[in-house]
Every structure is written in C-alpha cells, then in structure tokens.
Structure 1
Amino acid sequence: MFSILKRSSDFIKRNPSLLYSLLLIILIPATLYYNTFSTINSFQKNIDYELQTKALLAESIFTVFAPDILKNPEILQQKIEKIAKENPEITTIKVILPEKEKFKIIASKDTKEIEKEISTTAIDLAWSQNQTIAHLTAEGRERFWEVVKPFSDLEGENIGLVSMSMSLRSIDLLVLRTVRNSYIILISAILLSLFLIIHHTQLFKYPILLKKLQEIDRMKDEFLRMALHELQSPIVNIRGYIESLREEITDLATEEQKEYLSRVSLSAKNLSDLIYDMLEVSRIEQGRLDFTPQKISPQKIIDELIKEFTPKANAKGLKLIFQPKEEPYLINVNPHRFKQILTNLIENAIKYTKKGEIEISTWYSEVKKKYFIAIRDTGLGISAEAQKRLFEKFYRVKTRETAVIPGTGLGLWICKEICQRMGGEILLESMEGVGSKFIIFFPFVK
C-alpha cells in the first residue's frame, strides 16, 4: 500500500498539471451545483415573500372599507365576489364576525359558507392578540398563503376579521420550470467542463513530448557543434596540404593537374565556409556569441574593409567605392559582430556582381535617431518572390547565374540575427537584372 502511494506521489510530482486537472474536475461541478442550488433557494424565498406581501396588502386594503359596509351584507358580498373575480389566485376570502364566544362567516367567496360558524387557530390568535397572522399551508401538492387580519370600527375596537387564502400554484409551476431549466443548464455546464478538463488532461502528453523534443534538439545541436569542430581541423589541414602541394609542383604539373588542384582547393574552401557558418548558427541559437557593445565609428571599420576587399574587387574588374565624411554620431554595437555583418554583405556584393561597382555609403536621421549603412551593387539583383525568403536559413536564390556561384545559404540569416540582437535591423532593396542594396541601421549615440 505504501509503495502504491509513493508511486502515485512521485507520478503527481512529475506531472503536477494532473493534480490541477483532478481538482478542476471536483471543484467546477461542485461550485456550479452550489451556485445553482443557492440561487434557486434564494429565488424561492423571494417569491414567497413577495406573495406574502401581496396577500397582506390586499387584505389590508379590504379591511379599510369593510367596517363601512358591514351594515349592508349584500354590498359586502358583491365586493368579495368582485375581488375574487379580479384575482383568480385568491381561493378563499371571508368576512368573520364574533358571536358570543364563537365566530360566524357573514360574507364569503363561497356563498355556501355564509352564516356558518368557523374556528381555527389562526382566527383565535389573530383575534386574541389583535395582530395579522400569515402562514403557509398545503393541500396535496398545492401551497397557499393564509392571512387572517382583524379590523376595527372608528373607535378602534375590533369588530371582525378578514380571512384570505392565496394559491401559489402558478408561482410554484413557474419556479418548477425555472428549477428544471437551471438543472439542465447545470448538468450541461458540468458535462462541458468535464469534457474540457478531460481533453485538457489528454494534452499532458504534449508538454512532455515538447520537453523531449527540446532535449533531442539540444542534443542534436551539441552533437552538430562537436562534429563541426572535429571536421574543422581536418579541413584546415587539407587546405594547407593543397597549398603546399600546389607550390611544390607549380613547374612540374600539367594544366589539367593544376585545374584539379584548384577544384579540390575550392571544394575544401566551400566546405570550410559551410562549417564556419553552421558553427556560427549554432553559437547564435545557443546564445554563446559575445555581443558586448562598444561605442564605435562605423566609418573606421568600413575603411579597414575597403582596404581588405579592394584587391578582390579589382580582380573582377569592379570598383569598390566609399566616400568618408565627418559625422557627429557613433553606434553602440559589438565591433567584431558589426565587422562580421559588413564582411558578409561586401563579400556577397562582390560575389554576385559581374561588372560595374559596389558602393558603400553612410548617413543618419535626427528624426529617427538611427545611423544607416548601405551596400549597393550593380549585380544580378533579386526577384520580388525570392526576397520574401532571402533571410531564411539555407535559402539560396536559384537561377542560371547563381547555380555556379558557391554559397551556404546561411550568411544573410546570420547577418539578420546578429543585427537584431544588437538592436538593429537589415533591409533590402533589389531589382532583378539591375542590382541590390542592403541597408543596416542602428540607434546612434554621441
């Protein structure tokens, strides 16, 4: 028994939402039932009170004029019959006068009762205590409010009583219908609640599954990171061996052999670039990149990159243009990550531009408080359809011209992620066959 309780306790600790659902299964129906039951009881009491008040009011009105018409029994009887006709819920109404030690009915809704003696506890109490007596009675399943009230002459002496009985049949039927409808709604609400709660408990497996998937995803990322690190060293060695071999056999190798070496070298470089980009993706997703900001001058880093990429641009016959200018603002970013973004964008511009120029420009907006850097090229351009997915992981524009250009499809995703994590954004303006313009911007500081 103890082991069963312990296993149950451990299971609930591992799945606390199960206990929450069990509590809901108990509490929601109980709360709904209690609320409905209390509302119905309160409604019944209010209805009974209102009817009692109505009966007392009707009898009080009658007792006001009853003393004046006692001398004319025919008029008194007509009044009673009129009241009974206009108020069908009044089942009996009697005017009673004391006679010696007994009471006699002198007018009644039921004419057969006239001149008959009557004696009830309510009549005796109302007469002896000189107060109105009101109480509930029942005949079978029908309930009645019975009210007995003494009335007096002008001198204040009690001279008779009025007895009235009011049926609660129509009201009880209304209450019964209300109660039935309330319980139907209650049962429906309970069933719906139970359905939702049971459905909710079926969803327990999804958080557990999600947790497992997250763990698998974490293990996959860790494995990928380790595998890429292990691959990185051999690739670097292969590239080193290729370069050494190329230098040693420069004079001895045929043109075909040199071409083979060039292809191997290019493949090794592409593989190395892919490994580097995938490692960067892994670092970004796992939050292992350093984004510590510093106040830097964008133009200084751009100048460094212009010097670095000018030989590569010249080799393709491209102009690399940048006109520095004095600007009063800096940006607060990590300098290495900022340089990484610009490096990727300038490399892409050179890679996808066959002829023309690549221009880098900077400006700032006092209104938006932003500093802008644009890299414009006269390259292949990008279609509107391709622009929608350009910043997705592993996405590359597939055209006849781009098919022969190597790339991983990760560079722009990395640029966008780094840019956003440093509080900036990257935009693209491009027209197929005309060229592209990538714009990055960050908040500026003085």
Structure 2
Amino acid sequence: MVIIPKLIDNIKNTFKGSYLLYPIIIIVAIPLLLIINTFWNLRSFNRDINFLIRHQAVSVTDTIKPQVVRMLKDGSNLNELLTQTRDSNSEIISITVIKELGNKIVVVSTTDKEIELGNLEKMGLNQLAVGFNQPVAGLSYDAEIGKNVWNVSVPMEKMDDSNYLLFLKFRVDKVEEILGRTARDSYIILAMLILATLVLLINHFIFFRKAQKTRELEELDKLKDEFISMAAHELKAPMTGLLGYLELLKEKISPSEKEKIAEDFKILNMLIKDLDKLINDLLDVSRIAQGRLKIEIKDVNVNVLLEDVIKTFIPVASQKNLTLNLQSGENLPLIKSDPDRIRQVVTNLVSNSIKYSLKGQIEIASTIKDNYIFIEVKDGGIGIPASEMPNLFSKFHRVKDRQTIEVRGTGLGLWITKKIVEMLGGKITVESIYGTGSKFSFTIPLTA
C-alpha cells in the first residue's frame, strides 16, 4: 500500500520544521492506545465473565450431585431439591437426570414438564452426549423466559451398571446485569476517550493555526526591523551632510542677514536634530533587535556624567520655566560601565520629563546601595495613567492622552532605555500618579 507512506509524507511536509509535530503525535497516539486498550479489556472481560459463569455452573452442579444421587436412591422428588437450591448469582431453572439404556437416552427424573413429555431435544442432549464422560456447559436462548440460560451436564456415579448424567439449567440474571452494566460503563468510558481525543485534536489544530499566524507575524516583524535598519542607514549619511552644509551656510551669510534669519536657522537646526535623533533611535532599535549594540566598558564618574547631561538641557528647560536640580550622591566610586549608554539613558529620561512637564522642577539624584548605583529622574509633570503602565516600555508605544497629543515622539525612547539598562546589568522602574508627576529609577552595577 502506497497510500499510507504518502499520507505520512504529507503530514511531515505540513508540519515540517514545526515544534508541534511531536506533541501532535503524542496527543493522537495516547488516546488511540487507550481506545485499543479499552476494546481489548472489554473483549477479555466478556471472555473472563463467561468462563467464570461456566465454572460456577459446573461447580454448583458438582455440589448438588450427591444430593441428587441420594434422592434418586430414596425415591424422593427432585422438585424439593429445586426449591432448596438457590445460588446467590445464579438460579436453577430445572434439574434432570438421564441415563443411557442401550442405544437410547431416557429420563430418570426431571423437574422440567416439557422434558417429562419426552422433548429431550429441548435439553440439547444430542449435542451433550459427551456429557456422560466429562462436564459440558454452554449458553442457549430459552424462549419461555426470553433470556439466555446456561445448560450444564455433569456425569454421575454409575448405578445399576448404567451411565447417569445430571443436567441443570441456570438463569444468570444477576451476572448478566453486572456484565451489562460494566459493559455500558466501559462503552461510556470509550466514548469519552474518543470525544476527548477529538477535542484535543481540534484544540491542537486551532493552536497550530494560531502558531502559524504567530510565525507569520514574527516574519513580518523581522522584515519591518530589516526595513527600519536599511532606511535608517540610508538616511544617516544625507543627514550628516545636511548638518554640515547648515553650518557651512551660517559662515557664508553676512552678519546682517544672519540676524534676520536667526530664528529660521534655529527652527531648522531643531528640526534637523529631531530627525537625527529619530534616525539614531531607529538604528539603535535595529542593533538591539539583531544583538549588535556595542557596550564599551570604561571607568565612569556618575556625578560628572549627570552634570554634563544637565548642562545640555538647561537652555531647553529654561524655555519652559523648568528648573533642573541635581542631587549628587556623596563619595560615589568610579564604576565599570559604558558612559555613552548611561548618558543615553539619562538623556532620554530627562528629555521626557521636560517634554511632559509644564512647570516646577525636575530632580536628578544618584545614590549607592548594595553594589549598585541608583539614578532617579523625578518630575512634577502630567503623570502617566494607570492603564498605560503595563505597556509603557513597549516598542512604539505612546501614552494616549489629550495632554500628550501635541508632544512629538516615536514611542521608542523608553523601549531603548529599558533594553540598554538591562544590557548594562541593571533594572528600570517607574512610579507615577496621573496629574501629579512621575519618577523613573534605574540601577547600574558597580562592575560590569
């Protein structure tokens, strides 16, 4: 058969390269094994029950055989024995004693009226002739009671040099009831196993389809990152040239003309710097995603670094009537880390505080605790809604608020900040009350 190999090849091709192949095989195989095992147990159970009933019937027949012999010798009626002999799981319907008389079989005594009338075929004696030599038991359907009965024949001791045979019929209502109930329960379990298997398969294939969608989205995200990287690199060179030509243009313009367009130059310079920062952010996103962001370990004086960052923001803060306040930690040691990356993190946090603060002051503090430098940037700005906190450090996420609509940004700054802090071996946290302000804190280990 070539169909099965082709089917297996199709399945392998469908799940080729998928980590779901082996779980699917396991999920399919285990229920199938359980179903096969249940079928086998049902078959064995029926066989064992039949054996037990047959053995029980023969055993009961052997038990009452001495009483039958005694009653025959005494000339007693077997009906008395019939009423006396009842088994807990079986009920004797009739007792018959037959013997061989030459080439004939005759009834010596019986409690079965139909047999008294000479209907020996009802006993199946033509099939049970071997019963004169060994016990025989078998099932047959009794039309009178409308149920299966057990026919059992057991050889008896010889009397008057003739072979005698004890023939009993048993009802097995209780045993059949137990057998039926157990079989029903087994079939219910089997049906539940089949249903559970179908549910598992359906759920797994749904999960597989979702996994496929996830992989497609991951591939699209990868393509997006590659496009961002390519676009950022292509834009970086023209941007550098544009900044150079802007400075060159300033030198060529006469002082009188320069005063007239000073404000225009200022705006143009600000726009170019914003665009340059965007390109640098995109490049950082690409480098972080591809694991190419370099960390250069040097000696770092944290307080000096913070002072340098604050000096660059004083003009921008003054335009919004904001005060920058540095609380330098005392006796901070030199640490082993990347000063440029720490400066980038602090710059991002201070820049955000200035953008989202309308008045008051911005506090930058540094302390040392447990082999870590703690740096905090606290402002009295508009704060962050609680609903935005879980996604605050996500890529391209921006706080959606009526007060932030006019603030420009890409939603990359905090994502880059978090990644850099983690690459330096630290952690970053945020506390914020909407309408009151925010405090960003991050740690840097003393040694990388």
| Band the TM-score falls in, shorter-chain normalisation | 0.7 to 0.9
* TM-score between both structures, scaled by the size of structure 2: 0.73
Equivalent runs, 1:65-144 vs 2, <5 Å: 65-74=67-76, 76-83=78-85, 89-95=91-97, 105-110=107-112, 121-126=129-134, 133-136=135-138, 138=140, 142=148, 144=150
Equivalent residue in structure 2 for 1:356, among 342, 357, 361 = 361
3-state secondary structure, aligned to 2:257: coil
Seen in structure 2, the aligned counterparts of structure 1 residues 186 and 343 have a Cα distance that, compared at 3 Å, is same
Q: How far did 1:84 drift? A: 6.6
Q: How far did 1:146 drift? A: 1.2
Q: How far did 1:121 drift? A: 2.4
Seen in structure 2, the aligned counterparts of structure 1 residues 181 and 301 have a Cα distance that, compared at 3 Å, is same
What is the CA–CA distance in structure 2 between the aligned matches of 1:341 and 1:99, rounded to whole Å?
Answer: 115
Asked if structure 1 preserves the Cα contact closer than 8 Å seen for 2:366 and 2:376, the reply is yes
Aligned to 1:148: 154
Asked if structure 2 preserves the Cα contact closer than 8 Å seen for 1:25 and 1:194, the reply is no
Asked if structure 1 preserves the Cα contact closer than 8 Å seen for 2:295 and 2:338, the reply is yes
3-state secondary structure, aligned to 1:253: helix
Runs of 5+ unmatched residues, structure 1? 127-132
What is the CA–CA distance in structure 2 between the aligned matches of 1:169 and 1:122, rounded to whole Å?
Answer: 27
Equivalent residue in structure 1 for 2:238, among 234, 240, 253 = 234
Letter of the aligned partner of 1:321 in structure 2?
L
Asked if structure 1 preserves the Cα contact closer than 8 Å seen for 2:373 and 2:444, the reply is yes
What is the CA–CA distance in structure 2 between the aligned matches of 1:399 and 1:174, rounded to whole Å?
Answer: 72
Aligned to 1:303: 304
Equivalent runs, 1:397-436 vs 2, <5 Å: 397=399, 406-432=408-434, 434-436=436-438
Asked if structure 1 preserves the Cα contact closer than 8 Å seen for 2:353 and 2:362, the reply is no
3-state secondary structure, aligned to 1:392: coil
Q: How far did 1:47 drift? A: 1.1
Seen in structure 2, the aligned counterparts of structure 1 residues 308 and 370 have a Cα distance that, compared at 3 Å, is closer
Letter of the aligned partner of 1:121 in structure 2?
A
Q: How far did 1:123 drift? A: 4.0
**Which deviates further from its counterpart, 380-389 or 26-35?**
26-35
Aligned to 2:276: 272
Q: Count residues in correspondence.
A: 428
Aligned to 1:326: 331
What is the CA–CA distance in structure 1 between the aligned matches of 2:168 and 2:446, rounded to whole Å?
Answer: 91
What is the CA–CA distance in structure 2 between the aligned matches of 1:8 and 1:43, rounded to whole Å?
Answer: 35
- CA deviations 1:103-151 (Å, max 9, x no partner) are 865542225757989995244214xxxxxx1332546894634131536
Seen in structure 2, the aligned counterparts of structure 1 residues 433 and 220 have a Cα distance that, compared at 3 Å, is closer
Q: How far did 1:438 drift? A: 0.9
What is the CA–CA distance in structure 1 between the aligned matches of 2:25 and 2:379, rounded to whole Å?
Answer: 65
Aligned to 1:440: 442
Q: How far did 1:233 drift? A: 1.6
Aligned to 2:55: 53
Residue 338 (structure 1) aligned with residue 342 (structure 2): yes
Q: How far did 1:415 drift? A: 1.0
Aligned to 1:15: 14
Seen in structure 2, the aligned counterparts of structure 1 residues 355 and 222 have a Cα distance that, compared at 3 Å, is same
Seen in structure 2, the aligned counterparts of structure 1 residues 311 and 171 have a Cα distance that, compared at 3 Å, is closer
Asked if structure 1 preserves the Cα contact closer than 8 Å seen for 2:61 and 2:152, the reply is no
Seen in structure 2, the aligned counterparts of structure 1 residues 8 and 65 have a Cα distance that, compared at 3 Å, is closer
Runs of 5+ unmatched residues, structure 2? none
Asked if structure 2 preserves the Cα contact closer than 8 Å seen for 1:310 and 1:320, the reply is no
3-state secondary structure, aligned to 1:59: helix
What is the CA–CA distance in structure 1 between the aligned matches of 2:310 and 2:392, rounded to whole Å?
Answer: 24
Aligned to 1:258: 262
What is the CA–CA distance in structure 2 between the aligned matches of 1:186 and 1:208, rounded to whole Å?
Answer: 33
Residue 165 (structure 1) aligned with residue 169 (structure 2): yes
Q: How far did 1:419 drift? A: 2.5
What is the CA–CA distance in structure 1 between the aligned matches of 2:45 and 2:103, rounded to whole Å?
Answer: 43
Asked if structure 2 preserves the Cα contact closer than 8 Å seen for 1:355 and 1:378, the reply is yes
Aligned to 1:130: none
Q: How far did 1:75 drift? A: 5.8
Asked if structure 1 preserves the Cα contact closer than 8 Å seen for 2:90 and 2:175, the reply is no
Aligned to 1:225: 229
3-state secondary structure, aligned to 2:285: helix
3-state secondary structure, aligned to 2:256: coil
Seen in structure 2, the aligned counterparts of structure 1 residues 184 and 395 have a Cα distance that, compared at 3 Å, is closer
Asked if structure 2 preserves the Cα contact closer than 8 Å seen for 1:90 and 1:165, the reply is yes
Letter of the aligned partner of 1:301 in structure 2?
V
* TM-score between both structures, scaled by the size of structure 1: 0.73
Residue 285 (structure 1) aligned with residue 289 (structure 2): yes
Q: How far did 1:78 drift? A: 0.8
3-state secondary structure, aligned to 1:135: strand
Q: How far did 1:152 drift? A: 9.2
- CA deviations 1:172-197 (Å, max 9, x no partner) are 68757876886687578658756865
3-state secondary structure, aligned to 1:163: strand
- CA deviations 1:68-123 (Å, max 9, x no partner) are 54454336541224437998743332345788998865542225757989995244
Seen in structure 2, the aligned counterparts of structure 1 residues 93 and 291 have a Cα distance that, compared at 3 Å, is farther
- CA deviations 1:419-442 (Å, max 9, x no partner) are 234443211123455443211135
Asked if structure 2 preserves the Cα contact closer than 8 Å seen for 1:246 and 1:258, the reply is no
What is the CA–CA distance in structure 2 between the aligned matches of 1:275 and 1:220, rounded to whole Å?
Answer: 15
**Percent identity between the aligned chains?**
31
Aligned to 1:129: none
Asked if structure 1 preserves the Cα contact closer than 8 Å seen for 2:132 and 2:163, the reply is no
- CA deviations 1:262-298 (Å, max 9, x no partner) are 1111111111111111221122222222357x5966x
What is the CA–CA distance in structure 2 between the aligned matches of 1:312 and 1:114, rounded to whole Å?
Answer: 122
Seen in structure 2, the aligned counterparts of structure 1 residues 421 and 21 have a Cα distance that, compared at 3 Å, is closer
Seen in structure 2, the aligned counterparts of structure 1 residues 10 and 147 have a Cα distance that, compared at 3 Å, is closer
